Structure 1
Amino acid sequence: MKKPVTATKSSAKDAGTASPSKLIDGRIKQLGDWRGEMLARVRGLIREADPDVVEEWKWRGVPVWEHDGIICTGETYKEVVKLTFAKGAALADPACLFNSSLDGNVRRAIDIREGERINEKAFKALIRAAVELNASKAKPAKKKSVMS
């Protein structure tokens, strides 16, 4: 059974009763420029690469995509749409998509500027690799002990 594309665990605390997906929709609409278009585009690519992805809304307004842990976040700034991969330093990046936050030991980011295009095939491969990495490190469910 597939997980839903939306989740609500963070939305109730952070933004009333709206689902994270609705909040992301709102952010895209609110931006109303190339940043909204790019955020919508990468969101679609993430969903294509991992149909079981869960969307979250964390840290008072940051779109987050998860599958067995955080895959990446999607922040929007005046000059860039920044996609930060939580475990990016552990991912192979043969297409050299990572172009920001390169000095850290854990995260890596992709900064996309107005007019730039993203290598969609390589981006989806990076998403799938992040999901695989998360799944390989996922903690197994705790077994319930049975009392005699």
Structure 2
Amino acid sequence: MTAGPSELIDARIAALTDWRGEVLAQIRRLILEADPAVEEEWKWDKPVWSRSGIICTGEVYKKVVKTTFAKGAAVADPAHLFNSSLEGNTRRAIDFPEGAEINQEAFKELIRAAITLNLSRPAKTHTKGEVR
């Protein structure tokens, strides 16, 4: 039997025996607290959280745990959490280095804002052969 996305995320967190596993687990917990309808996926060999489209990914590097928001450039960030990938037109990210305090309420609001954006956009569907 193949492991599902949640089990793969569990395994990734368990394999990180330092601060990075704790941070990834905290990010995951906050995302699911922000909206229990969020779906966990496993794409590109990393955790992905979605609701009516991708919300964000959880990437682990040597010096940071990065949360990349797929449509972050279109999401209001009043607490100025985005601190990485600021130059692009679409994505925005938050790098969490060792010892960083996560502003939990602001992070959950960012998740909710990304979900609201996803829900406000009609699903991209088109029939075969249709020109767009």
TM-score, normalisation: structure 2: 0.92
Q: Which whole-Å deviations, capped at 9, do the CAs of 1:106-145 have from their partners, x for residues lacking one?
A: 0000000000011000000000000000000132889xxx
Aligned equivalent of 1:41: 26
Say whether the 8 Å CA contact 1:68–1:138 is kept in structure 2. no
- Mind listing any 5+ residue stretches in structure 2 that lack a counterpart? 127-132
Aligned-residue Cα RMSD (Å) equals 1.4
Corresponding position: 1:50 with 2:35: yes
Aligned equivalent of 2:7: 22
Secondary structure of 2:29 counterpart: helix
Larger radius of gyration: 1
Secondary structure of 1:55 counterpart: strand
Moved over 4 A (4+): none
Aligned equivalent of 1:139: 123
- Mind listing any 5+ residue stretches in structure 1 that lack a counterpart? 1-15, 143-148
Choose from 62, 75, 87 the match for 1:78.
62
Q: Which whole-Å deviations, capped at 9, do the CAs of 1:53-80 have from their partners, x for residues lacking one?
A: 0000001x11000000000000000000
| Residue identity (%) | 67
TM-score, normalisation: structure 1: 0.82
> 2:101 corresponds to which letter in structure 1?
R
Aligned equivalent of 2:84: 100
Secondary structure of 1:24 counterpart: helix
